């Protein structure tokens, strides 16, 4: 027997629905309406209120798009789509092998999943290359919780734009990836925390690895900080490799960014050190294996603990107890050819290309099934 829903709960839901509808009818005063002219969907992130941030490396811009729920999702399921590459290919008029996924995020209210896609998947022949290295994603798809797929048009949206100062030049050559324009790494990852958007990428400075901080609503970049880390697998300090995935988190009561890089150091940065024009040194707390880069990073709550889940290009997913991270007091500073530092639990399931928290019960993943085809696959948090 279903429990009766209290009257105040119904009233609150009704009022919230009216509020969301009223917001949708009238964009915020700071927003423009039209086509933001996005050249590449390099990275995406949602604010808790449903603002979609798109990082456009080619233009070196961050675009904020209001995408209000219509209405908030009240179901108890999550999308599970076998052979999603075939379904996307049919929608876009191409073949499944051509479909390449660049990023995936879940709307925090509607629970619609948004996927950045390109049509040149045959180019992806090495795990050392990211999809952005090979081609720009210009198609944005929407997947409902019921599994319906459609193209989401960016031609008439409510948006604001912020330009990144001094992004890495398109005239430079990549240090080691043949034929790759380093401009694709102008924006590599984003996270929204306490009304500020953190953006990682490469600048045109000598110390290229950079963390930008933007206040919301978007305007000028308020902070630009260069980053340096000790890379245990390489046995040296580095400033030219960008952060590939990161999450904000309070460690030992202080706000930090937990970040991961190619090949695969795990590093922490106190956000209090991120000041405009400064150069900060991160603390390397783990080496998670060479020949790999993190594809995504999320935090889940399980058994009364917060857990960091990392998906990888050439490793299984990893489960890290966040309470173990501050225990690495000194940080790593010696070359290591093995995985070392903060312990982790390897999770089964093979390589996960994209990952996003769907709700308190599921993490949504994009991986290949036994038949070699892509599938959108929810994983119960109790198994992570």
SS3 string of 202-261? EECCCCCEEEEEEECCCCCCCEEEEEEEEECCCCEEECCCCCCEEEEEEECCEEEEEEEC
The token pair at 80 is 């599970």
Nearby residues of 264 by Cβ (< 8 Å), 6 or more positions away:
233, 287, 288, 289, 290, 292, 293, 294, 312, 315
pLDDT (average), residues 93-113? 96
Distance CA 179, CA 18 (A): 52
Distance CA 185, CA 275 (A): 21
Within a domain: 24 = no
Task: Using DSSP, state whether 110 is helix, strand or coil.
Answer: coil
Give the confidence band of 7 by pLDDT, cuts at 50, 70, 90.
very low
Strands 279-281 and 223-231: parallel
Task: Using DSSP, state whether 272 is helix, strand or coil.
Answer: helix
Mean pLDDT of all residues in the chain? Answer: 90
Within a domain: 6 = no
The pLDDT of residue 15 is 39
Give the Å distances, CA to CA, from 36 to 9, 40, 118, 161, 220. Answer: 39, 11, 19, 8, 17
Residue 321: beta bridge partners? 307
Q: Give kind and range of the element (H or E) at residue 269.
A: strand 265-270
pLDDT (average), residues 32-58? 97
Segments forming the whole domain that contains residue 127: 37-383
The pLDDT of residue 122 is 87
Within a domain: 10 = no
CATH number, position 92 = 2.130.10
pLDDT (average), residues 120-138? 89
Least confident of 48-57, 66-75, 107-116, 177-186: 66-75
Least confident of 169-173, 267-271, 348-352, 355-359: 348-352
Specify the number of domains making up the chain: 1
Within a domain: 229 = yes
The pLDDT of residue 5 is 35
CA angle 218-220-222, nearest 5°?
Answer: 100
For residues 57 and 117, the answer to whether their CB atoms sit within 8 Å is no
The pLDDT of residue 175 is 81
The token pair at 93 is 């008029």
Least confident of 5-14, 255-264, 329-338: 5-14
The token pair at 279 is 């150069």
Q: Is the pLDDT of residue 70 over 90?
A: no
Report the candidate in 151, 156, 132 with the shortest Cα–Cα distance to residue 56: 132
Percent of the chain at pLDDT exceeding 90: 77
pLDDT in tens, 316-353: 999 999 999 999 999 999 998 889 999 999 997 778 99
Distance CA 193, CA 198 (A): 8
Within a domain: 26 = no
Within a domain: 31 = no
Q: Which residue has the tokens 């290591």?
A: 336
300 C-beta neighbours (distance < 10 Å), count: 18
pLDDT in tens, 201-221: 999 999 999 999 999 999 889
Please tell me which residue, 198 or 372, carries the higher pLDDT value. 198
pLDDT in tens, 161-199: 999 999 999 999 888 888 899 999 999 999 999 999 999
Within a domain: 19 = no
Within a domain: 279 = yes
Q: Is the pLDDT of residue 61 over 50?
A: yes
């Amino acid at each position: 027997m279903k429990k009766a829903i209290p009257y105040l709960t119904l009233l609150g839901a009704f009022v919230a629905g009216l509020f969301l509808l009223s917001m949708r009818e009238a964009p915020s005063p700071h927003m423009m309406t039209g086509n933001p002219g996005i050249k590449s969907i390099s990275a995406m992130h949602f604010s808790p209120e449903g603002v979609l941030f798109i990082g456009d490396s080619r233009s070196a811009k961050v675009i904020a798009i209001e995408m209000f729920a219509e209405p908030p999702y009240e179901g108890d399921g999550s999308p599970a789509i076998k052979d999603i590459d075939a379904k996307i290919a049919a929608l876009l008029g191409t073949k499944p092998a051509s479909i390449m996924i660049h990023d995936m995020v879940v709307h925090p209210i509607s629970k619609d999943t948004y996927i950045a896609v390109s049509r040149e998947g045959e180019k992806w022949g090495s795990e050392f290359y990211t999809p952005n290295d090979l081609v720009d994603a210009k198609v944005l798809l929407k997947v409902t919780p019921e599994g319906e797929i459609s193209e989401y048009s960016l031609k008439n949206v409510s948006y604001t734009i912020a330009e990144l100062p001094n992004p890495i030049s398109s005239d430079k050559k990549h240090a080691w990836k043949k034929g790759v324009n380093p401009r694709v790494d102008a924006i590599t990852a984003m996270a929204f925390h306490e009304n500020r958007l953190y953006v990682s990428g490469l600048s045109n400075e000598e110390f290229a690895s950079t963390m930008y901080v933007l206040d919301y609503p978007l305007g000028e970049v308020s902070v630009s900080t260069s980053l340096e880390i000790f890379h245990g697998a390489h046995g040296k300090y580095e400033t030219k490799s960008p952060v590939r995935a990161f999450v904000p988190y309070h460690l030992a009561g202080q706000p930090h960014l937990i970040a991961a890089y190619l090949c695969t150091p795990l590093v922490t940065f106190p956000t209090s050190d991120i000041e405009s024009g400064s150069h900060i040194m991160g603390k390397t707390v783990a080496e998670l294996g060479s020949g790999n880069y993190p594809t995504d990073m999320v935090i889940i709550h399980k058994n009364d603990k917060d857990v960091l889940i990392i998906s990888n290009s050439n490793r299984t997913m990893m489960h890290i107890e966040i309470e173990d991270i501050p225990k690495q007091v000194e940080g790593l500073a010696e070359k290591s050819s093995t995985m070392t530092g903060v312990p982790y639990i390897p999770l089964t399931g093979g390589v996960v290309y994209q990952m996003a928290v769907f709700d308190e019960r599921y993490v949504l993943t994009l991986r290949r099934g036994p038949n070699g085809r892509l599938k959108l696959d929810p994983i119960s948090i109790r198994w992570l």
